Each structure stands twice: as structure tokens, then as C-alpha cells.
Amino acid sequence: MLNISLYLTTVLIWGSTWLVINFQKGIVPLEVSVFYRFTLASLLLLGWCYFKKLNLRFSKKDHLFLAGQGFFLFGVNYLLCYCASHYIPSGLNAISFSMVLVGNIISSAIFYKVPIRLPLALGAFSGVAGIIAIFWPELLSLDLSSNNVLGMILSLMGGCFASIGNMISIRNQNHKLPVTETNALAMGYGAAFTLGYVLLSGFPLVWDMSWTYMTSFLYLTIFGTIVAFGCYLTLLGRVGGSNAAYALVLTPIVALGISTIYEGFVWTPNVIFGVALILSGNVLILVKKNAKPQVKSSSLNVHMPLQKTV
């Protein structure tokens, strides 16, 4: 029951961030917003750890892995997907980034000897095929210019880096490192890397005082980052990278539902077919016999969107 709660929370929150991220566009460059977001998330989590008197002392070796998790999962992953959004539509970005599911399956097999069972492989294929079906019109109209190719490469790289971050998180949980405390520090490392990128790229450290920007920023920080990543990484440690990553494929369905209500999105036959494929893959992947926990236990901590990512 706990796994289902973690899964649904992750999917529902990250699905909603697809809409909320639109309110971040404007005065503040998206890359700068990412830096702000993970900085505040890290500070809030550190404050929570201090208030609850949680242990933040880790070995130097563990700090290296925390820095790696921050770099891959809370830094370069987001920056690559944001860069990709400058060249390709969000739908194509979602298709490319959803390949993190395939990356997790392969990485889990390589690093943690998790067998690739047929139902798992079929479920992953069904999920990715569903994403492609949903955004099929965008694929048909795709101009294979250098910019589009570059955008898809950047998005695929973002998914690959996210998968590496997932594997590092599993390693940390295998070594009994609690999710809340490690997220607090890893997000800080990710924010520091992002700041370096922002400064080297010449992005201005500006702020938007509008109510729309600030409320969307707080939602993305508290729910899209602290809550969703806490749930997702806890789930990652409990059921493994392959099963947990399917949440990234399901989030577009939630996004489409929200878009239907607030933006008048029309459900065309290809969208209905794509959603059916994704749900079918969900059934194949989440059946009990496929769940293979990577750690015996993990701490519960209460973000791209696929394209940001969340």
C-alpha cells in the first residue's frame, strides 16, 4: 500500500508540474529558476533536518556519491532538458526523456544484476510506444534540421544522466543513507553545479516579483522537488529503478488530464491509443511478481516535469 501511495503521489505531482512550469517562463531564465528551486529546496530540507535533529554527518566517500547524485539528478539532467526545450517542442522532449525508463532497466541489470524479465521489457516498450503515439503529430511534422536533432540529443542525454542519478540513489540507499538527509545535501550540490553553469553562461540572476511566478516557484520547489523527489527516490529504493521510472511515463497522462480541464485539450484517437498503451504497460510493470526491491528499507520523505523535468 505504501508503494502505491508513493507511486501515485509522484505521478500526480509531476504530472501537474507540466502546467505549472509554464508560469515560470518570462523574466527569469529557466536555468536560473532551476538554481533557485534546488537552492531553496536544499535549504528547506536542511532546516527540517536541523529541527528534527537528523544526522547529516556522512563519510567523504558518501559525500562524493551525494555530489554525484546532485550533479546527475538535480543538475545536469534538468539543464539539458531545458536546453532541449529551446530547440524542440515539449512533446518531443517528453518522448526523448521518457527513455530514462529504458536506461533504468539496462543500468539496473548492469550495476545491480536485476534480470530483465519479459513482462518488464514489454511494459517499458508499451509505455514508450504510448508516449510516441500521443505526440505522433509532432513527429510527423518534425523537420530534421540540425536544431531539432540537437534538441533530441540533448533531451536523450538528460534522460541518460537522470538514469545515472537514479542508480547512485539506489547505491546510497543500499548503504543505509536516508532519503531525506541525502536529498538535502544532494540538492545543494546540484544547485551549486547549476550556479556554476548559470554564471559561466552569462545568465542574469534576476527575480520576478509577480504573484504568478512566486506561487508557481513555491509549488515547484515544495511539491515538485521536495515531496515528489522524496517519494520517487524512496520508491526507487523499494521497488527498483525499472519499476519506479515508469512514473515518468505516466506523468504525461496526468498532464493531459489537467490540460483538458484548464486549456481545453482535445483527446484525439492517437492520444486515446497512446494512453491505452501506457496504462497497459503500467499493468505489466507493476504486477507484484516484477517488483524487486533494491534495499531492505528506506526513509520516507514527503519535481519535468518530464521536460524540465519536473
Residue 231: pLDDT above 70? yes
Output the CA–CA distances (angstroms, integers) from residue 119 to 122, 282, 283, 288, 306, in the order listed. Answer: 5, 10, 9, 11, 24
Contact (CB, 8 A) for 194 and 34 = yes
Give the residue among 211, 189, 220, 238 at the shortest CA–CA distance from 69: 189
For 144, the 3-state DSSP assignment is coil
**pTM confidence score:** 0.80
Q: Which residue has the cell 505522433?
A: 136
Q: Which range scores top for mean pLDDT: 119-128, 138-147, 243-252?
A: 119-128
Give me the pLDDT at residue 291, please.
44
Residue 308: pLDDT above 70? no
Which of the four pLDDT bands, split at 50, 70 and 90, describes residue 144?
Answer: low
Q: pLDDT (tens digit, 9 = 90+) per residue, 24-52?
A: 888 999 899 999 999 999 999 999 999 99
Give me the pLDDT at residue 296, please.
41
Q: What is the mean pLDDT of the chain?
A: 82
| Interior angle at CA 252, CA 268 and CA 190, nearest 5 | 155
Give me the pLDDT at residue 309, please.
40
Q: Which residue has the higher pLDDT, 22 or 75?
A: 75
Which of the four pLDDT bands, split at 50, 70 and 90, describes residue 120?
Answer: confident
Q: CA-CA distance, 29 to 272, in Å (whole number)? A: 34
Task: Taking residues 156-171, report their average pLDDT.
Answer: 90
Give me the pLDDT at residue 76, please.
93
Which of the four pLDDT bands, split at 50, 70 and 90, describes residue 90?
Answer: low
Q: CA-CA distance, 305 to 15, in Å (whole number)? A: 6
Output the CA–CA distances (angstroms, integers) from residue 48 to 41, 44, 180, 227, 235, in the order listed. Answer: 11, 6, 9, 13, 21
Residue 112: pLDDT above 80? yes
Q: Where would I find the beta strands (DSSP E) of the chain?
A: none
Q: What residues contact residue 113 under an 8 Å CB cut-off, 6+ apart?
A: none
| Interior angle at CA 106, CA 102 and CA 111, nearest 5 | 140
Return the sign of the alpha-carbon dihedral for residues 197, 200, 203, 204: positive
Which of the four pLDDT bands, split at 50, 70 and 90, describes residue 242?
Answer: low
From the centroid of its chain, how far is CA 219? Answer: 15
Residue 298: pLDDT above 70? no
Output the CA–CA distances (angstroms, integers) from residue 15 to 111, 160, 223, 254, 259, in the order listed. Answer: 29, 20, 11, 5, 10
Task: Taking residues 185-198, report their average pLDDT.
Answer: 96
Give me the pLDDT at residue 300, please.
35
Contact (CB, 8 A) for 148 and 85 = no
Q: Is 270 exposed, middle or buried (0-12, 13-18, 19+ CB in 10 A)?
A: middle
Q: Which residue has the higher pLDDT, 308 or 184?
A: 184
Give me the pLDDT at residue 208, please.
95
Residue 4: pLDDT above 50? yes
Residue 233: pLDDT above 80? yes
Q: Which of 79-93, 148-162, 190-204 comes out lowest in average pLDDT?
A: 79-93
Which of the four pLDDT bands, split at 50, 70 and 90, describes residue 84?
Answer: confident
Give me the pLDDT at residue 91, please.
61
Q: pLDDT (tens digit, 9 = 90+) per residue, 93-109?
A: 666 666 777 788 888 88
Domain residue extents for the chain: 2-290
